[in-house]
Structure 1
Amino acid sequence: MEILKLTDKNIQDEHICCAISDKKCRNGYEKKKEWLKKEFKNGYNFQKVDVRGKVFIEYVPIESSWLPLIGKNFMVINCFWVSGQFKGKGNGKKLLEQCLADSKDMDGIIAVSSDKKRPFMSDPKFFEHQGFEIIDEAQPYFKLWGLKTNPNAKFPKFMESAKSGNCTNNKGITAYYSNTCPFTEFYTNELLREYAKKKNIPLEINHIKSQEDGRKMPIPWIINSVFYKGELVSLEMKVERHLNKLIG
């Protein structure tokens, strides 16, 4: 199976792996494509195994990353997903090798994950198996994994402002999302709004629209996050059960 690189010339004819046939996320799917076309100009990469499934990796030079990171000359893995029948067949390693090849003039690669496998986050066990090490941490469970190709280089770090695990709004629900994922538009702007209205809870939704917005995040994550009374509740899209445990 070959690896296919998406570009502004072929993206209209190619799928972007997630939400391929999910009609309710069609709007978010198209917004993700529009976001990709803009970010391709900043060195963003979307590489996928040429199959109809979730087998892909996304990465970008740290200088163009939207994550709250401090550093230079490292490649940042944004999203890395191998699912279903495509797992356990070397596809993850193949995609990582492509990232390494595209990072040959850089000092290494970094990726944000956590203390264990969590939804919408890359598996930390995979990174550990491939030689990555934990180079920084942020509350409540974020880990920055790094792999140097230049032994003399200095690893990047999380911004201090992204390490507390709390947001400034301590009333009701606070959500952050970006169009870096095709699922966020529906689950945040529609389902979460409906939930807050039904429960009569104040809701603040923050749409991350730029690198500047992303680097102001209170956690090192820009895809989707939900806080309740200032405390991080979940990075998942379906947060009702998480919120119900707290709200009752």
Structure 2
Amino acid sequence: MDIINVDLSNIEHEHICCSISEKKGENCVALKKAWLKERFKDGLVFKKLNARGKVFIEYIPAENAWYPILADNFLHINCFWVSGQFKGQGYANKLLEACILNAKHQNKHGLTVISSKKKMPFLSDPDYLKYKGFKLADTAQPYYELLYLPLTDNEHILNLPKFKDCAKNGTIKEREMVLYYSNQCPFAEKYAFIIRDIANAKGYPLLLNKIETKKQAQNSPMPFTTYSFFYEGKFITNEIFSEKKFEKFLLSMPVKNDL
């Protein structure tokens, strides 16, 4: 099976893969497709296996990435996913090789990607990336790693990629529950509204902060702008809360007289 590009010419009829599987997600996928359409003009590339499955890579020039990173003359991988029946067939290597070739054609210094100390949901696998030559450029609380794959000698890279200071500490000023999210994930908004309704029904304040511009994303207080949940000023998770997981989180919270 071939690797194909998804762009303005075919995005309406191509399947957009996601780590969340739902039978009735058309409205959610439309949000992601709308987000992609706006990013194509910024140099975003979306490559996928010509099949209906979770086999794709999405990358963009780092200066246009919706993340608080500094990575001059790099391509940034937004999302890189191979799962299910397609694992172990070399598709991850093919997708990564296509990204590397594109970076070389653009005379980029290399690639960057946000990962973690150990494999975490919704983040690219650090073990695979490091096996393929990615190196640690920077870290952010509590477990984020900014990895980079150099495609030129390090001495030609004046400044290694790094997280911006605003996203290093994993804290915010607000004390209530706060969720930052964007339409980079098709289902982030759907589940943001779901947990907001659950919280409201139980008398808990929950503030939704939707990231809608590149500037907002690049100055956000957390490295992973697709979905980041905070409570009492501290980062809790980048994994999208399902109804059950959010209910479980609420049960784990201490009872407060002011809530």
When normalised by structure 2's length, the TM-score is 0.91
In 2, Cα distance between equivalents of 1:37 and 1:215: 19
Aligned to 1:174: 178
1:57 to partner: Cα distance: 0.5
Note the C-alpha offset of 1:45. Answer: 0.7
What is residue 202 of structure 1 aligned with on the other side?
205
Where 2:120 maps in the other structure, the secondary structure is coil
Q: Does 1:52 align with 2:52?
A: yes
Shift in Å at residue 150 of structure 1?
A: 1.2
Conserved 8 A contact 1:233-1:242: no
Partner of 2:163: 158
Task: Check whether the contact 2:63–2:70 (CA below 8 A) recurs between aligned residues.
Answer: no
Distance 2:78 2:8 in 1: 19
Contact 1:47-1:56 within 8 A present in 2 as well: yes
Counterpart of 1:42 in 2: which secondary structure?
Answer: coil
CA separation in 1, counterparts of 2:121 and 2:198? 21
> Using the alignment, how far apart are the partners of 1:237 and 1:181 within structure 2?
10
Distance, in Å, in 2 between the alignment partners of 1:47 and 1:243 is 39
Unaligned runs of 5+ in 1: none
Runs ≥4 in structure 1, deviation > 4 angstroms?
A: none
In structure 2, the gaps of 5 or more residues are: none
2:136 and 2:71 map into 1 onto residues whose CA distance is 15
In structure 1, the residue matched to 2:226 is: 223
| Number of aligned positions between the proteins | 245
Determine the structure 2 residue equivalent to 1:81.
Answer: 81
Letter in 2 for 1:22: K
Rounded to whole Å, the distance in 2 between the matches of 1:246 and 1:45 is 41
RMSD value, Cα: 1.4
Aligned position for 1:13: 13
Alpha-carbon distance in structure 2 between the residues aligned to 1:115 and 1:243: 27
Distance in 1 between residues matched to 2:163 and 2:111, nearest whole Å: 14
Question: What is the alpha-carbon distance in structure 2 between the residues aligned to residue 205 and residue 220 of structure 1?
Answer: 17
Contact 2:103 2:111 in 1 (8 A): yes
User: How far does residue 21 in structure 1 lie from its aligned partner after superposition?
Assistant: 4.8
The correspondence of residues 1-248 of structure 1 with structure 2, limited to 5 A, is 1-18=1-18, 21-23=22-24, 25-104=25-104, 105-151=107-153, 152-153=156-157, 154-170=159-175, 172-189=176-193, 191-238=194-241, 239-240=245-246, 241-247=248-254
Q: C-alpha displacement at 1:247, in angstroms?
A: 4.3
The answer to whether the 8 Å contact 2:179/2:208 transfers is yes
**8 Å contact 1:27–1:185 — kept in the other structure?**
no
Q: Is the 8 A contact 2:56 2:82 kept in 1?
A: yes
Rounded Cα–Cα distance in structure 1 between residues aligned with 2:132 and 2:249? 33
**Partners of 1:243 and 1:143 in 2: how far apart?**
28
Instruction: Decide whether the 8 Å contact of 2:182 with 2:188 is kept in 1.
Output: yes
Distance 1:101 1:145, change over 3 A: same
Q: 61-70 or 192-201: which moved more? A: 192-201
Distance of 1:161 and 1:6 partners within structure 2 = 33
Distance 1:99 1:199, change over 3 A: same
Contact between 1:234 and 1:242, CA under 8 Å: does it hold in 2?
no
**How many Å separate the matches in 1 of 2:129 and 2:79?**
13
